[in-house]
Chains A and B, each alone.
Chain A
Amino acid sequence: MVTVKQISVFLENKAGRLADVTRSLGDQGINIRALSIADTTDFGILRLIVNQPEAALKVLRDEGFMVAETEVIAVDVPDRPGGLAQVLDTLGQAGINIEYLYAFVGQASADALVIFRVEDCAAALQALTAQNIRVLSGAEVYAL
């Protein structure tokens, strides 16, 4: 399955916690490709796409962070008005619920990259490819 490994890190809302994560990764030469934070007043979940997911998981666990690995889909979205809407329509019509999505930091091509977390990855992939929407593999994303 053409999915990408995302790392989720539980963060208490206290000063310096996000810096701790990024420093731990930076010290090990791990590069962050995309990130997003969802938070309440008490805690947050940091979601990361990095160039070396396995190494990043190990580093963060060793540093005492609570981490989990999740499969997400990286979609190449045409960088023009209505580009994202087409992708969302496709998923919507296939009855696929999106838990969250966020955009990529780097630039892959002339297109934008959007990370999707959906309930049913296989069904989402099938729907997207049927509409000729390009989905990037893990290897492609990590190497960007």
Chain B
Amino acid sequence: MIWDAEKETMSREALRTLQFTRLSSTVSNVYHHVPFYRQLFDSHGVQPSDLRSLEDLQKFPFTSKELMRENYPFGLFARPLQEIVRIHASSGTTGKPIAAGYTRNDLATWSDLVARVAVQAGVTDKDVAQICFSYGLFTGGFGLHYGLEKLGVTVVPASAGNTEKQIMLIRDFGVTTLIATPSYALYLGEVAADMGIDPRTLPLRIGMFGSEPWSEQMRAEIEERLNLRATDNYGLTEVMGPGVAGECAARNGLHLSEDHFYVEVINPETGEVLPEGCEGELVITTLTKEGFPVIRYRTKDITVLTRERCVCGRTTARMRRVSGRTDDMLIVNGVNVFPSQIESVLMEMEEVAPHYLIVIDKKKRFLDDLEVHVEMNPERFTGSFRALEAVEEKITAKLASVLAVRARVKLVEPKSLARTAGKAKRIIDKRQQGVRA
């Protein structure tokens, strides 16, 4: 089934025409309603009238998370707050998050696009979906909630946590669709087994997983353990939230809703737009957003685009599963974590040196385990055990508040962390069995 057959199976030519009309009005809208964009375009010597074809967008400047943060909270909104009916926010890095405002129309579009992605995944109005994402500023919970409701699915807003209860609800309510991070799905399977419930006997049939990178092996593992069909979907707060792209039955890339988003893939070094089929950084321009439109947003996600027709009949472009990042962002149990956040916490503390090592592993039952090794400052060592414990607790608490994810702090001896050519190895990600400098 296709949710919006007219839009999802449009001829490429008709789609490009629609995209151009919407892009022109978006570019003109931000130029006239967001002072930041006017300045940005002016300083790059471009005007809305310079956009005569879709390809002309290449002349326009990029935007980034950093620019958004500089305009926190509402500097990039194109509508007055009175017309904004909801605000979500991305997890802020060291300080300010990014606030995303939605008008009533934006929310309607969002729900529609989530419904589209859900139908792509095989969900129907006969399904019962349990949402294990937290409901709050994070776009995952509410975004999927209203989209699935729009589709007519019976929604169970379980939110995050309390896994045993989640399992009880899945069984008692006959939940057929699981909305979670892939690692949480595996964890859920483990906990069910502990409770004496064979996870394969749960009524689940479809999993819509997202918000963290995962592999084909992990997909196979989830399907084997939970006896469901695992699908991937993609979205980001800066652009909308979940619903930007999702897999269809063919599971050969994620269909992008191109009638609402214009996508480019660029060389992250030069900013040059790459031809279809080349790997690079995904850049998204919103075509219909009213409250918080974005022009050429650099996602820092690495992917490949194809516009070949899919066997499912949809004509929209597909993006390959995100294979990495252009920055050092880590995703820990679905939460974005930047090493710079950890660094800033450590820099503020005199008891420790700003040398650290981040170790991520799937130690316990498929959930990511984040450990931060911190070198002590020998000048502040008094020999007191309590003082060391207090330092450990202080760092743990600060990291928890800044990262929004639990990190275990391990104090290590001064100068004990490896330094290669003066620069420390900052991250050991055992989930991928790789080390990044």
Residues of A within 8 A of B (CB): 6, 8, 10-12, 38, 40, 42-43, 45, 47, 64-70, 99-100
Contact = CB atoms under 8 A, between A and B. Distances in A.
Interface string B382-399: 111110110000000000
Interface stretch (B69-77, B88-96, B406-414): B406-414
B413 A47 contact: no
A64 B415 contact: yes
Contacts of A64: 413-415
Contacts of B389: 40
26 contacts: A8-B381, A8-B382, A10-B376, A10-B413, A11-B413, A12-B412, A12-B413, A12-B416, A40-B389, A42-B410, A42-B411, A43-B410, A43-B411, A45-B388, A47-B383, A64-B415, A66-B376, A66-B378, A66-B381, A66-B413, A67-B378, A68-B382, A69-B383, A70-B382, A70-B383, A99-B386
B376 A99 contact: no
Contacts of B415: 64
Contact of A99 (B381, B384, B413): B384
A21 to B, nearest CB: 11
Interface in B225-252: none
A38 B387 CA distance: 13
Given A10-B381, A38-B385, A43-B388, 20 more contacts: A8-B381, A8-B383, A10-B376, A10-B411, A12-B412, A12-B413, A40-B389, A43-B412, A45-B385, A47-B383, A64-B414, A66-B413, A66-B414, A67-B378, A67-B383, A68-B381, A69-B383, A70-B382, A99-B386, A100-B385
Interface centre among B376, B383, B386, B389, by most chain A C-beta atoms within 10 angstroms, is B383
Contacts of B382: 8, 68, 70
A38 B384 CA distance: 10
Contact of A45 (B378, B383, B416): B383
A114 B376 CA distance: 30
B247 to A, nearest CB: 42
A11 B376 CA distance: 11
A67 B380 CA distance: 10
A53 to B, nearest CB: 13
B221 to A, nearest CB: 30
Contact of B381 (A40, A42, A47, A67): A67
Nearest to A47: B383
Contacts of B410: 42-43
Contacts of B383: 6, 8, 45, 47, 67-70
Interface centre among B386, B388, B411, B413, by most chain A C-beta atoms within 10 angstroms, is B413
